[in-house]
Structures are given as structure tokens and as C-alpha cells.
């Protein structure tokens, strides 16, 4: 890097004069609104008008510059040429760099599969829109030319159908719009994010768009949805037909369309082949989401998934486990993955330089108006050309009266510059006609040639009259547009790619897999561990292994599809399914429930209830002698919530909790040695989870508390009536000598 020369006193004045900036280095205050107007607004308008929002011809400036360059290079005919060559030439119109120009070409190409009707025919690797990993090759390797449909973009562009403006350095001209012969604005997906606004236009079938345009021109009251069924996307798949939502899009230009993937089931390999996905996602996103669901144990029917995309097209293969219903699995995947997604519509288009959100009918009306103007300009161009030709031929007809005179005038004129004036005087014609006569070759100065030219006068007069009549009649010009649209349909209609599904019920589908139903035994330890062993395997199991210092509290026989409620010491409850726990064996410690259920730091298990349905009661007995009976329905939720707060009262420490499918006798044991035999039917159930309950055991001394609770077993007490109170609360009774013994507590 060159070092800057140190200033000398002699050149200080010159340097300061060259670099002086008024108010440089001073801090000034300015109203924020002025800053926005002076700085942000010009930038925002540049992005809106010159980059992100398409115009009525369906193109953004970058698209238009690229396609026009290719048109000037003669790429509408002949073979392909290197993309790098096209990119270099396009930089004469688009100064934003070769990378952005090439990316624009890639998106417009047939090989990339971004557009329903691509404008660029490609040769080589142009990547795929449905895969972020399938990148396009460098521009020096690929080749391209214009697709045949581009003829409809440039038809009659040399007949003054559109305005031309200077390019960025004023060295050449470029069209402000292209004179498209069909409503391309609705035939290809166009998305763009500007400053403060965005545009998202869905693609529709070419035939349906053209037929709708024709119908509107013939009948202004035509119902758009009668001919324009639904959007059509290049990737295919299915559209979930929603008439109300489509009518909203057609009317306002805003709304969303649900697009569903297409799949087939291969019975021989027991796998699902997904061959079409929504345009809003990629194959990698779909695969990653399915893998995430499998890892989270929400989808259990899948054994493997892989991307088998090849030259034939997209293919995601999902291997299934034995006995899986593929249709039911896909119904769940549609809900839980991008295999079904919504395409959001925001028909924001630049109309006469102003961004406007328009419905389909309004867009087509704007396009018809634009196309009518193109037709008018084309007719005027042809009219002026024919009028000039007629004017020349009328001058030529006067020469027919005396060809020898014309030859004599030319021969006797001494100066070349005097030939035209002398012909004007000799035949009474104007300068343009005289110039035309003077330029006629000597071989054409014969009666036969002149008579042939004069015969064209009548034809030209008829053609001019017809053009003038057409120019003055909107109906005749509309017939021209209709004829062009019909021609476009005949040439380029390829049928719908996206199928439409009618009468699809949007019913709630359980995302998680249905648990298999088989008998298991859940072992719950005092230390908070739980393990699940198939009941059929228990016979072959040895002693149940537990952590040192831990012991098994209970072994519950249940079904694999049952659920558990794990109550913590912080008055919270965590919900899980038995199926969430892995099948294991006696030699395994099991799974630590607080970690399995993502409990908070410091939380420990207070009680685990195993149940098959939300029926019965939860019994909470507190150390202060109160008992609460909560209906199990209080813990049932419509959504798949895994954690509930305020699971039981926090007004007093919890002594014990029990899950009871139905009312039964329980024994409450106090620290003072007294026991109370109580039937839970005597306690009214509550639906409020954190109810404080009612006083059951009277604790007379200050330090007395409830020590434990257990289910009563027949024969536990010799005289049960001694412990059963007539009314609550009650102090209970001290056990007799015959009743003293170890009791199983929970």
C-alpha cells in the first residue's frame, strides 16, 4: 500500500481546497422524520421499483434485462451457448455483478424447476429448487438459450409496442416492459421482499389463465372461479381445494393455498416413495423433520428414510416397519411435517410505477389494458409505415404519366442536388416522393414495374382503412388479443401438474404414533426410577436390580398404551405414556423419571399414578390431617401438554398420594400411633386440582402429623369398627395388641 505524502506548507492550501467538506466533524441534530424522508425513503423506493416487485408483464427488472440480452444475442433460435457469455453480455444492462445475474438465469431455467413455464432452456447442472444441497454448476460449465415460449414475450417488440429507456450508463436502450401476449404475471411463481412490503404470486395453469382472460373480455360479469380452478405448481403434488379461501384470493389477492405432497406405496419393499413436495419446502427440510419426530419417539412406524432423487426427479423413500398402514402414517406426517404446507399469496404488483395489491380479476383487467395499449401502438406503427409507403407510391403513379419526361429532367439537370427539386416542379410531388423516384434504378424505369407498384396502392388503401377501423374499435382489438391467447393455449398448454383434492376433511389427526397394546409391568422405586418389562418375560427374569440404597415401592401390571402421572414435590405433575419407556429386563436399573420427564432442577418424585383412562380419583392426604379428593378429569387436557402446575395443594406438606379407580377404604396413620379407617366415598370429589380438602384426622398435639397412608386390606384389623369414625374429623384409635404389625405403606 502506498504511503500518503506528508503535506508541506506550500500545498496545504491546495489540499484543503480539494478535500474541504462543509460542517465536517461537527455533530448536528436532525428530526428523525427528515432523516427517513431524505435517506431511507429513496432507498426503499429503489428496492420496490427496481428490484423486488414484479410489473404487469410478470417480470422483475433483473429478469427482463437478462431475457432481453439473450433475445438480442439471437438465442430464441439456434443452439445453446455458454452461460458465462450470456452473463457477461447482460452486465451491459444489469451492473449488479455476475453472480446475481447467473442466479437469476438459474431460477428462470427449465433444469432448476422453479417455474411452471420456464423462460430459459438449460444444458448442464442448474441445480434443483426442491433441494438446497443440489447446487448449480458454475456458469463456465453450463449452457442456455431462450425457451420457445419467449417468442410470446418479445413478439412485435420492434414495432414500438413498448417504451425503451436508457441503460444505466446511457450507452444503449432497453425495454421498460415486454409486450407479453399472455398474462405471464399469473403463470409463474414470483416472490420478492422489498423494504416495508413483499410480493408472493402463485402460479396458475396457462390454459386456465388464458381462458379466464378471454371470458372476462367477452363478459365483464364472468365469475373467475368458473374457469380458473386453483393454482398450479411446477412440483406437482395436490392442492386442498378450499372454495372460500380461493374466492378470497381471487377477490383480494391475499390468502393461502394448502399444498400436499404426492406419494406412492411400494408393497414389495414396504416403503413409501414421496415424489412431489410443496414449493415452499425442500427435500432436506422434510427428511430432517421426519428424523426429528422419530428421535422424539413421536413416529415409531419408520425404520429408515433416505433421499433417492436422481435424473428421473425427486424421490424420498421412507422404509416402514411391518404391519404399518401407509395412508394413516402419511396423514400424520402431513400434519407434523412440511409434506403439507401453505403457499401464502400476496399479489403485490407494480402498476404504472405504483405497488398495488390486486385480486386476479383486477390483475387481468390491468393486463388487458396493458395489452390493448401494445396492440394500439403496434397498429399505429403499421399504419404509419403503410401510409408512408402509400405516399411514395402515389408519387410514383404520377411518373407513369410521362416516364420520358422524368428521364429527361434527370438527364438535363446539371447538378445532382437539383434533381429532386426539378422532379418536384416537373410532376407536382413533394420532396419525399421525389427522393423516392430519384432513387429508382434505371432498370425499373419501365411501364411494367411502375404499373405493378401502382396496383399496390389499392391494396394499401384497403389495409390502411382496415387498420384505422381496428384502431377505433376496442372490440376489434380485443378480438386480436383473444386470437393471440387461443394461439398461446394451442402452442404451450401442457396440462395441470398439481392435482386438486376435493372434500378433504381437515380433522384432527394424532401426530404421535398409537402405542402398541400388550401387557407390561411397571416397577417404580423409591429413588424415582421406573422400568418397564413385558409381563410375558417376567417368568424368565431374575431378581429386579435397583440402585444401591434404593428399593422397589410397587409393581403395577398394566398395558403398554396406559399413561402415568408423575407428581413432584413442587406441586407439579408430569404426564407421560407407558410406551415412552423402553422395554427392558430385570438386570437394568431403569430410567430416572425426573430426567425422562424433563423435571426442573431439585424436583423429586412424590408419587406416580398408572392408569388407562381419566376416570377415578386422586387422593391427597396432607401432614396436617386434611384429605383432598380430586377427580381424574381435572388432569385431562385437550392439547398434548406434558406438564401441569398446581397439581395439588401447597398449603401443607404432602404425606401421601393414592390413585383410586373407584372409592375404597384407606388407612391414615398418624405420628402419634393412631389409625383412622376411612372410606373415600365420604369425601366429596373436587375438579379443582389444588383444593385444600377437608379435615380427616384430628391432630391434638403440636408436633403430631400424618405419617403414612395405605389401602385397607380385609382382615388387617380384628375389629375394624374401632378405627372407622362416625363423623369427620376424627382422632382415630390406637391399635390393639392383636392389630400391631408391619403395614405396607405408599
For residue 179, CA distances in Å to 157, 160, 300, 403 come to: 6, 10, 56, 46
Between CA 330 and CA 324 the distance in angstroms is 11
Burial class (CB in 10 A: 0-12, 13-18, 19+), 546: middle
What residues have CB less than 8 Å from 580, skipping those under 6 apart? 297, 596
Sheet order of strands, 552-559 included: 552-559, 519-525, 529-534, 591-592
Closest-CA residue to 569 (of 519, 537, 608, 531): 608
Burial class (CB in 10 A: 0-12, 13-18, 19+), 150: buried
> DSSP E strands: which ranges in 93-179?
120-123, 143-146, 164-166, 173-175
> DSSP E strands: which ranges in 546-679?
552-559, 563-568, 573-577, 591-592, 605-611, 617-622, 626-631, 643-644, 654-660, 665-670, 675-679
Q: Describe the crossing of helices 326-336 and 283-295 by its angle, rounded to 10 degrees.
A: 100
Task: Give Cα 363 to chain centroid, integer Å.
Answer: 23
What residues have CB less than 8 Å from 130, skipping those under 6 apart? 113, 235, 277, 279, 281, 282, 283, 314
Between CA 487 and CA 123 the distance in angstroms is 28
Between CA 318 and CA 92 the distance in angstroms is 49
- Strands 499-501, 238-240: pairing is parallel
Closest-CA residue to 299 (of 272, 263, 336): 336
CB atoms within 10 A of CB 95: 12
DSSP string, 650-713: -SS-EEEEEEESS--EEEEEETTS-EEEEEGGGS--BS-TT---EE-B---STT--EEEEEE--
141 catalytic residue (yes or no): yes
Grid cell in block for residue 394: 402515389
- Which runs of consecutive H residues, i.e. helices, occur in 73-176? 83-90, 98-108, 151-154
Between CA 137 and CA 576 the distance in angstroms is 50
DSSP tally for the chain: helices H, then strands E: 18, 32
Angle CA(473)–CA(479)–CA(483) in degrees, nearest 5?
155
- Strands 552-559, 238-240: pairing is unpaired
Between CA 237 and CA 259 the distance in angstroms is 7
What residues have CB less than 8 Å from 736, skipping those under 6 apart? 718, 719, 722
Q: Of these residues, 43, 141, 168, 269, which one is catalytic?
A: 141
Sheet order of strands, 81-82 included: 81-82, 143-146, 120-123
Looking at residue 582, the DSSP 8-state letter turns out to be P
What residues have CB less than 8 Å from 426, skipping those under 6 apart? 405, 406, 409
Catalytic residue annotation: 141
Amino acid at each position: 500500500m502506498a504511503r500518503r505524502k506528508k503535506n508541506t506548507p506550500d500545498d496545504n492550501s491546495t489540499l484543503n481546497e480539494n478535500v474541504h467538506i462543509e460542517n465536517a466533524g461537527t455533530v448536528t441534530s436532525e428530526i428523525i422524520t427528515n432523516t427517513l424522508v431524505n435517506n431511507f425513503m429513496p432507498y426503499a423506493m429503489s428496492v420496490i421499483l427496481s428490484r423486488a416487485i414484479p410489473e404487469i408483464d410478470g417480470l422483475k427488472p433483473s429478469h427482463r434485462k437478462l431475457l432481453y440480452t439473450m433475445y438480442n444475442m439471437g438465442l430464441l433460435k439456434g443452439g445453446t451457448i455458454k452461460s458465462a457469455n450470456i452473463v457477461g453480455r447482460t452486465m451491459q444492462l444489469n451492473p449488479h455483478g455476475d453472480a446475481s445475474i447467473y442466479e437469476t438465469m438459474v431460477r428462470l431455467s427449465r433444469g432448476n424447476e422453479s417455474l411452471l413455464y420456464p423462460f430459459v432452456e438449460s444444458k448442464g447442472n442448474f441445480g434443483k429448487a426442491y433441494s438446497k444441497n443440489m447446487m448449480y454448476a458454475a456458469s463456465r460449465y453450463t449452457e442456455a438459450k431462450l425457451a420457445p415460449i419467449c417468442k410470446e414475450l418479445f413478439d412485435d417488440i420492434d414495432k414500438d409496442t413498448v417504451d425503451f429507456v436508457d441503460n444505466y450508463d446511457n450507452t444503449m436502450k432497453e425495454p421498460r416492459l415486454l409486450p407479453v401476449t399472455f398474462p405471464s404475471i399469473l403463470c409463474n411463481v414470483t416472490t420478492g421482499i422489498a423494504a416495508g412490503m413483499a410480493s408472493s404470486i402463485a402460479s396458475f395453469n396457462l390454459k386456465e389463465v388464458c381462458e379466464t382472460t378471454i371470458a372476462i373480455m367477452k363478459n365483464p360479469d364472468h365469475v373467475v372461479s368458473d374457469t380458473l380452478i386453483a393454482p398450479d405448481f411446477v412440483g406437482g403434488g395436490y392442492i386442498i381445494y378450499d372454495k372460500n379461501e380461493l374466492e378470497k384470493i381471487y377477490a383480494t389477492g391475499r390468502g393461502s393455498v394448502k399444498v400436499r405432497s404426492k406419494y406412492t406405496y411400494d408393497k414389495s419393499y414396504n416403503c413409501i416413495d414421496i415424489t412431489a413436495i410443496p414449493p415452499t419446502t425442500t427435500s432436506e427440510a422434510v427428511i430432517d423433520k421426519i428424523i426429528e419426530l422419530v428421535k422424539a419417539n413421536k413416529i415409531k412406524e419408520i425404520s429408515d428414510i433416505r433421499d433417492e432423487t436422481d435424473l428421473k426427479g425427486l424421490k424420498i423413500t421412507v422404509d416402514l416397519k411391518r404391519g404399518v398402514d401407509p395412508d394413516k402414517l402419511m396423514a400424520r406426517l402431513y400434519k407434523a411435517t412440511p409434506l403439507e404446507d401453505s403457499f401464502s399469496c400476496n399479489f403485490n404488483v407494480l402498476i404504472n410505477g405504483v405497488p398495488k395489491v390486486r385480486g386476479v380479476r383486477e390483475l387481468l383487467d390491468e393486463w388487458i389494458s396493458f395489452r390493448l395499449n401494445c396492440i394500439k401502438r403496434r397498429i399505429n406503427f403499421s399504419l404509419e409505415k403503410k401510409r408512408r409507403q402509400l405516399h411514395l407510391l402515389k408519387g410514383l403513379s404520377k411518373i407513369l404519366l410521362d416516364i420520358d419526361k422524368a428521364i429527361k429532367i434527370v438527364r438535363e439537370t446539371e447538378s445532382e442536388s437539383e434533381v429532386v427539386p426539378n422532379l418536384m416542379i416537373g410532376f407536382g410531388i413533394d420532396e419525399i416522393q421525389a427522393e423516392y423516384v430519384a432513387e429508382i434504378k434505371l432498370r425499373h424505369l419501365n411501364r411494367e414495374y411502375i404499373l405493378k407498384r401502382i396496383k399496390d396502392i389499392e391494396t394499401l388503401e384497403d389495409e390502411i382503412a382496415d387498420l384505422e377501423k381496428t384502431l377505433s374499435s376496442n372490440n376489434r382489438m380485443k378480438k386480436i388479443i383473444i386470437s393471440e391467447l387461443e394461439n398461446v393455449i394451442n402452442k404451450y398448454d401442457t396440462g395441470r401438474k398439481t392435482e386438486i383434492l376435493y372434500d378433504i376433511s381437515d380433522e384432527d389427526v394424532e401426530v404421535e404414533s398409537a402405542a402398541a397394546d400388550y401387557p407390561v409391568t411397571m416397577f417404580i422405586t423409591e429413588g424415582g426410577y421406573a422400568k418397564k418389562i413385558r409381563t410375558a418375560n417376567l417368568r424368565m427374569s431374575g431378581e429386579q436390580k435397583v440402585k444401591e440404597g434404593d428399593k422397589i415401592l410397587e409393581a403395577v401390571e398394566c398395558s403398554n398404551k396406559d399413561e402415568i402421572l408423575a407428581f413432584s414435590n413442587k406441586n407439579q405433575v408430569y404426564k407421560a405414556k407407558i410406551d415412552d419407556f423402553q422395554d427392558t429386563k430385570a438386570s437394568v436399573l431403569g430410567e430416572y423419571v425426573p430426567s425422562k420427564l424433563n423435571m426442573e432442577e431439585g424436583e423429586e418424585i412424590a408419587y406416580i399414578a398408572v392408569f388407562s383412562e381419566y376416570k377415578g380419583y386422586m387422593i391427597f392426604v396432607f401432614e396436617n390431617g386434611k384429605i383432598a379428593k380430586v377427580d381424574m378429569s381435572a388432569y385431562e387436557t385437550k392439547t398434548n401438554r406434558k406438564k401441569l402446575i398446581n397439581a395439588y395443594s401447597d398449603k401443607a406438606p404432602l404425606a401421601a398420594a393414592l390413585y383410586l379407580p373407584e372409592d375404597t377404604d384407606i388407612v391414615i396413620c398418624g405420628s402419634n400411633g393412631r389409625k383412622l379407617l376411612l372410606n373415600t366415598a365420604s369425601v366429596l370429589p373436587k375438579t379443582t386440582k389444588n383444593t385444600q380438602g377437608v379435615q380427616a384426622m384430628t391432630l391434638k398435639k403440636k408436633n403430631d402429623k400424618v405419617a403414612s397412608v395405605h389401602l385397607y386390606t380385609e382382615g388387617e384389623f380384628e375389629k375394624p369398627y374401632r378405627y372407622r369414625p362416625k363423623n369427620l374429623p376424627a382422632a382415630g384409635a390406637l391399635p390393639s395388641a392383636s392389630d400391631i404389625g408391619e403395614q405396607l405403606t405408599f
